[in-house]
Structure 1
Amino acid sequence: MAALTPPAALRAMFDAAVAAADPMRVIPAALPPRPGGRVVVVGAGKASARMAEAVEAAWGPCEGLVITRYGYGRPCRGIEIVEAAHPVPDAAGVAATRRMLDLLASLGEDDFVLALISGGGSALLCAPVPGLTLAEKQAVTTALLASGAPIDRINTLRKHLSAVKGGQLAAAAWPARMLALVISDVPGDDLAFIASGPTVGDGSTVEEARAVLARYGIAVPEVVRAALSQGSGVLAPGDARLARTETRIVAAPSQSLAAAAEVARAAGCEVRLLGDAIEGEAAVQGAGQAALARQIAATRRAGDPPVVLLSGGECTVTLAGADGRGGPNAEFTLAALLALDGAPGIWAIACDTDGVDGAEEVAGALIGPATLAAAAARGLDARAALARHDAHGFFGAAGAQVVTGPTLTNVNDFRAVLIV
C-alpha cells in the first residue's frame, strides 16, 4: 500500500474526491471575463457560498445574494450570504428567496446574472406556490425524505409545488442574460434535477408529480393536492424566457471518482469503477458491494495488487416509521459491515462529499475487519441498528464515524471498498 495503511488510503481517496470539486478549483476556469454593466450574482446550495467566494476572488466584489446551509457561509466582499435550513426548508430560506426574486425582477436586457447552483438548492431556494404555506411545504419535504424515493422523483414533486424551481429562477431574471454554473450532486448529472433545475426547463407534468405521491404512499394535506390541481409555473425546455440563459456543469461525481482513482493507483491499487450514478436502497447496495469484495478476495493470489472498488451516486433509506436517523452512507457501511462479517483484508468507506449524511453532521463511516467484533465487545448490536435505520448511532458509539465539518462542496456520495 505504498506506505499507507488501508484506513489512511481510503481517507486519502475521499479527501481527493472532495478536493477535486472545491469551487476555488473549478470556478475560475469556468468564468468568462467580467461583463461590463450591471452584474448580479445569485445562487443556492451547499457549495454556493464557496462558489461566490471563488467568483469574487476572480472578479472582485459583486452585487448579489446567495443562500447556503447553516454553517456553510463564506466571507464575501459584495455578495450577501444568507444561511438557511437543509434538508427541510425554513423561514430564512423563504425570505431570502423572495428577496432574490425581487432583485432579479429589477434587471433589464443589458444586465448580466451569474447563477451559482449546487446540491441542496432544492431546500434552500424555497418559494411555495400560492396557497401553500411553509409548514405545508416542510411536511411534504419531510415525508419525501423518509419515503425512499430517488432524487429525480423527489425533485419532480418539489418543482411543481414551487415558484422558483423548474426554470422559474431564470424566468425571473428575463430579459437579462444569465450564465448558470452548476456543481452536480445527482446521478446522471441531469440539470433538470440538480437543485430542482432553477435555470433549466423541465418536461415533467403535474400528473407525474401526483404519481410520486401515489407511488411512495406519501400522505399530504389536501391543500397540497389542490395546489397540484391548479398546475404550476414550471417552464417547458423551449420557453422563450430561457433563451438568454446558459447552464454549465463545472464539477460532477465522475471527476471526483477520477481524482480518487489517481490516489488509489499511486498507492499501488488496481481500480475498478462501479459507476458514478448508483441508486437504490443503501443497505442493498452495501451488502452487494461487500459480496463482490468477498468474491474478489477469494480469488486473490500472493503478490496480487490491492483492489479498490469505487462508486458514487445517491442511495436512499426508507425509514417507514423506524426510529433511526437514516443516512445512506452510514447505512451502506453498516450493511457492508454485516455482510463482510469480519472478512480479513477488506476495508470500506462511504461518505457524502458535502460532509452531511442525510440530516446528520457526519460525513459517513469507515470500517475494517476488526470493526464488527470491536463493536460487539462494546455491547453494540449491528443487526438491530440496521433494522431500525440507526447506523449513525451505531458508528458513533463504535468510534467509526468520519466527521469532516462543512466541505463547502457537494458531488454526492463517495464509496470505496479496499481489498488487500
Structure 2
Amino acid sequence: MQIDRDILHALFEAALQAALPDGKFDGRLPERPKGRTIVLGAGKASARMAAAFEEAWARMGGTCEGLVVTRYGHAVPTRSVTIVEAAHPVPDEAGLQAARRILALAQDAGPDDLVVCLMSGGASALLSLPAEGVTLADKQALNRALLKSGAPIGEMNLVRKSLSAIKGGRLAAAAGKAKLVTYLISDVPGDDPSSIGSGPTIPERIDPEAALAILRRYRIDVPNHVMQTIRSNAITEPVAGGDVHMLATPKMALDAAAAKARELGLNALVLGDALEGEAREVGRVMAGIAQSALMHGEPARAPCVLLSGGETTVTVRGQGRGGRNVEFLLSLALALKGEAGISALACDTDGIDGSEDNAGAWCDGSLLESARAKGMDLAARLEANDAYTAFAQLERLVVTGPTLTNVNDFRCILVRP
C-alpha cells in the first residue's frame, strides 16, 4: 500500500535527522585556547560536522582553521575549514594526499593550540596513509579483498590500522602536547571509539598477529612485504588521548524512528543497534520475527514496526550489482513469500548502499507477484548478488543522495494485522 511506503520513508527520515551533527556541539565545546584552533577530520559526515562545529565555535567568538576529507559528493560550504573530497570505499591518491596534509597540521600544533578531530564512518578509506614499506596500491588491493571477504567492519578496521601511519591513535601522537578533543558519529556496532574511522586519535595497542590471523581466516593472500610491514608497524605503548564526545549513534537514530512510529499510532520495538552477520541470513531471521508478530503478537503486537541497525556483511560470489541492505531486503522478501500485511525498508544512513547510487530499497507483499509478472527470478538474483538490479527493475529503490551523516544501516519492518 502507498501509505505503508510513506510510513517507512517517514521513519527513515526521522532516523536521519537524529543522526545529523547540527546543534549537537552545544554544551560540549572546550575552552578557547591561547593559540590556534585546528580542525581535522575524515568520514562521510565530516564536512557537515565541520560546518556545524564552525557555527557553534563562532557563537563563542572563536575562529578556526584546518582540513577535513570526505567522500566525493559529500562536501558542504564552510567558513574557514578546507574540505577535500576523496574516494570510498577503496582509497585513492586524493585521500592519501589529504591524510598527509592532516598529519602535517597535527604535527605543527603547539602546546597553546587546540586540535579538534571530527570522525565518522568512512574515515578508514578516506584517511589512507600507508605505513612505511607499503604503497597505496597495496592498500587498495587489500581493501578490495576485505570488502569481498564478508569480514565484519571491526576486523577490517583492525587490518587497516596495522598498515596505517595515521590510524590507531597515531594522529593523536602527532598532535603532541596540543589539547586534543575528538567528536564522533558512530557507524560501528557497540560505538567503540577506536573502531570509528579506525580511531586516528584513540590510543590503543595494535597486535600484528591479530591482523595476520584475520587475513588467514578469510583466505586473503598478501605479499611478503605487506606481512612484514604489519609486523613492524605494531603499537605497544599507545600515547595518551584527549576528550572524546559522541554526537550521534545508531541507537539515537533508531530511538527517533521509534518515537515517530508511536506518533503514527504504531507499536515500536527496537531489536538492536548492533546486528551483524551475513545479510541474507539476517533477512531470513527477520522474516521469521515479522511473521511471529503478525500471527502471535510477539515480540510486538501489530500494528507495529520492528527496527534494527548495525552492519551486515555480504560474501560476494556472484557478478551482480548489490549492497548489503538490498541483499538483506531481497532475502527477507523471499522468506516472507508475499505475506500480506508486512512491508519493509532497508537503507544505509549515508545514502549509499555499497557502491551504487541508492541508499537501499523497500518492499511489500506485492513484490514477488510484480517480479513474476516481469519474468524475474528473484532467488537467482539473490544468488548472483544482484539485488540492486532486481529492485531497480521493480522500481523499489530508495534514492536519497548523500545524507551527510552515517550511523550505519537502518532496517524497518512494518507489520499490520
The two structures have a TM-score, normalised by structure 1, of 0.94
Q: CA deviation at 1:376?
A: 2.1
- Given residue 362 of structure 2, which amino acid in structure 1 is its aligned partner? L
Which residue does 2:314 correspond to in 1? Answer: 317
- Given residue 39 of structure 1, which amino acid in structure 2 is its aligned partner? T
Which residue does 1:91 correspond to in 2? Answer: 93
Question: Could you tell me whether the CA contact under 8 Å between 2:33 and 2:112 is conserved in 1?
Answer: no
Cα distance, 1:63–1:330 mapped onto 2, change above 3 Å: same
Tell me the SS of whatever aligns to 1:203: coil
Question: Could you tell me whether the CA contact under 8 Å between 2:131 and 2:233 is conserved in 1?
Answer: no
Which region of structure 1 is more displaced relative to structure 2, 271-280 or 194-203? 194-203
Which residue does 1:382 correspond to in 2? Answer: 378
Q: CA deviation at 1:222?
A: 2.5
Tell me the SS of whatever aligns to 1:285: helix
Q: CA deviation at 1:139?
A: 0.1
Which residue does 1:273 correspond to in 2? Answer: 270
Q: CA deviation at 1:55?
A: 1.2
Which residue does 1:15 correspond to in 2? Answer: 13
Tell me the SS of whatever aligns to 1:277: strand
Partners in 2 of 1:139 and 1:83 — Cα distance?
21
- Given residue 338 of structure 1, which amino acid in structure 2 is its aligned partner? L
Which residue does 2:127 correspond to in 1? Answer: 125
Partners in 2 of 1:268 and 1:164 — Cα distance?
48
Is 1:355 paired with 2:330? no
Question: Gapped runs of 5+ residues in structure 2?
Answer: none
Matches within 5 A, 1:181-330: 181-232=183-234, 234=235, 236=237, 239=238, 241-243=239-241, 245-299=242-296, 305-320=302-317, 322-330=318-326
- Given residue 320 of structure 2, which amino acid in structure 1 is its aligned partner? G
Which region of structure 1 is more displaced relative to structure 2, 343-352 or 97-106? 97-106
Question: Could you tell me whether the CA contact under 8 Å between 1:109 and 1:177 is conserved in 2?
Answer: yes
Partners in 2 of 1:324 and 1:30 — Cα distance?
45
Question: Could you tell me whether the CA contact under 8 Å between 1:367 and 1:400 is conserved in 2?
Answer: yes
Q: CA deviation at 1:299?
A: 2.5
Which residue does 2:36 correspond to in 1? Answer: 38
Which region of structure 1 is more displaced relative to structure 2, 222-231 or 147-156? 222-231
- Given residue 53 of structure 2, which amino acid in structure 1 is its aligned partner? V
Partners in 2 of 1:105 and 1:305 — Cα distance?
57
- Among 2, 5, 29, the alignment partner of 2:3 is 5
Which residue does 1:373 correspond to in 2? Answer: 369
- Among 22, 25, 45, the alignment partner of 1:24 is 22
Partners in 1 of 2:336 and 2:67 — Cα distance?
48
- C-alpha RMSD of matched pairs (Å): 1.6
Partners in 1 of 2:34 and 2:257 — Cα distance?
39
Question: Could you tell me whether the CA contact under 8 Å between 1:268 and 1:305 is conserved in 2?
Answer: no
Partners in 1 of 2:182 and 2:271 — Cα distance?
30
Partners in 1 of 2:137 and 2:385 — Cα distance?
26
Which region of structure 1 is more displaced relative to structure 2, 121-130 or 379-388? 379-388
Partners in 1 of 2:26 and 2:49 — Cα distance?
9
Partners in 2 of 1:37 and 1:291 — Cα distance?
58
Question: Could you tell me whether the CA contact under 8 Å between 1:41 and 1:116 is conserved in 2?
Answer: yes
Question: Could you tell me whether the CA contact under 8 Å between 2:90 and 2:140 is conserved in 1?
Answer: yes
Q: CA deviation at 1:228?
A: 1.5
Q: CA deviation at 1:34?
A: 3.8
Tell me the SS of whatever aligns to 2:25: helix
Which residue does 2:390 correspond to in 1? Answer: 394
Tell me the SS of whatever aligns to 1:411: coil
- Given residue 382 of structure 1, which amino acid in structure 2 is its aligned partner? L
The two structures have a TM-score, normalised by structure 2, of 0.95
- Given residue 172 of structure 1, which amino acid in structure 2 is its aligned partner? A
Matches within 5 A, 1:127-142: 127-142=129-144
Partners in 2 of 1:154 and 1:98 — Cα distance?
22
Which residue does 1:404 correspond to in 2? Answer: 400
Q: CA deviation at 1:405?
A: 0.2
Tell me the SS of whatever aligns to 1:280: coil
Which residue does 1:115 correspond to in 2? Answer: 117
- Given residue 172 of structure 2, which amino acid in structure 1 is its aligned partner? A
Q: CA deviation at 1:175?
A: 1.1
Cα distance, 1:27–1:376 mapped onto 2, change above 3 Å: farther
Q: Percent identity?
A: 50
Runs of at least 4 residues off by over 4 Å:
none
Question: Could you tell me whether the CA contact under 8 Å between 1:309 and 1:418 is conserved in 2?
Answer: yes
Partners in 1 of 2:14 and 2:102 — Cα distance?
34
Partners in 2 of 1:181 and 1:325 — Cα distance?
34
Question: Could you tell me whether the CA contact under 8 Å between 1:319 and 1:326 is conserved in 2?
Answer: no
